[in-house]
Amino acid sequence: MVTGPGRVAVVGLGLIGGSLARLLHRRGVDVVATDVVPASREAARRAGLVVADDVTGCVTAADLVVLAVPLRVMGVVAEQVAGAAPAHATVTDVGSVKGPVRDAVRAAGLGDRFVGAHPMSGTERSGFDASSDDLLDGVAWAMTVDDPTTTDRDRLLAVLALVTGVLRGRVTVVTDDVHDEAAALVSHVPHVLATQLLNTVAGAPVRHVALRLAAGSFRDGTRVAFSDPARTEAMVAQNAGWVAPALRKVVRDLELLVEALETNGGTHGFFHGADDLRAAGRPGAAHREDGRERLGTAGEWPAALVERCTAGAVVVGVDEGALELEAPTP
């Protein structure tokens, strides 16, 4: 039986943690939050949230704990959670890299209680003041397991129910490695390329003219480069094992393009290599209401779910005894 989330504890009140706490509060969920920065705690209180002064006070009575802190302090915070949260509490997170987070929570003794999660939403701004109660409303999420044959099915189901229910999200459930490889392609490498585009203009002798002439293509291509560069650097470094080979392909393809341009060679392959994706439309542009299927939650369903999601299906709902999936686009 799928039940409500109970009390949700959000540890960390930055852009994502703050937005999650705001949305949960707006939807009537019993949520308590905390942050190591006193100013963030006070800002959250002014926004109407229930805020604890420390991690212990935040998680003591929690049914679900959301770790929304930087990876550099994840181990320390996970240890605090392990020492204060009830034994029944499930632990999840909102980080953009999953393998290192699982390592940290496992080292803290929380590995069997952890379900990885990553909302695919954000802005170039940071901190609680940049958060909002609509940033995570109805967005795509990734959810990860280490081994789908041994993952705690009830805990996975509880987080799925929260995200697809209260948060109205759509969830892709995969292994940590699949998530981190995919996140490198659609998040981390784009951050690197946006940064390089901004760096190229910053170092150009005509930078002032270029910036005066910059319009939509430059604005869209560099939006994420205006976020905190230290945060971007940390994110990319944390997923270096997948980002580095993806960037090597980018560099190789660009070198081939440069050679073709310098020698009057053919460039058709570069500019038309993704025509099939263009024909399919922008990701997330439409939902396939006619492509729904149900997956029962008896037996070894997590392995079947990971297989379906790796092939492109997403979870769009949870009810008693079944998950509702949207089939991949043909």
pLDDT in tens, 60-94: 999 999 999 999 999 999 999 999 999 999 999 99
Mean pLDDT along residues 126-132: 95
Domain with CATH 3.40.50.720 in the chain: 7-177+291-326
The CATH architecture that domain 181-280 belongs to is Orthogonal Bundle (1.10)
Q: What is the CATH number of domain 7-177+291-326?
A: 3.40.50.720
From-to residues of CATH 1.10.3660.10 in the chain: 181-280
pLDDT digits (tens, 9 = 90+) for 234-274: 999 999 999 999 999 999 999 999 999 999 999 999 999 99
pTM exceeding the 0.85 threshold for the entire prediction: yes
Average pLDDT score over residue span 208-212:
97
Q: What are all long-range contacts of 38-45, with beta carbons under 8 Å and residues at least 24 apart?
A: 40/13, 40/14, 40/127, 40/128, 41/13, 43/13, 43/128, 43/129, 44/13, 44/18, 44/128
Q: Residue 1 pLDDT > 50, yes or no?
A: no
Mean pLDDT across the chain: 94
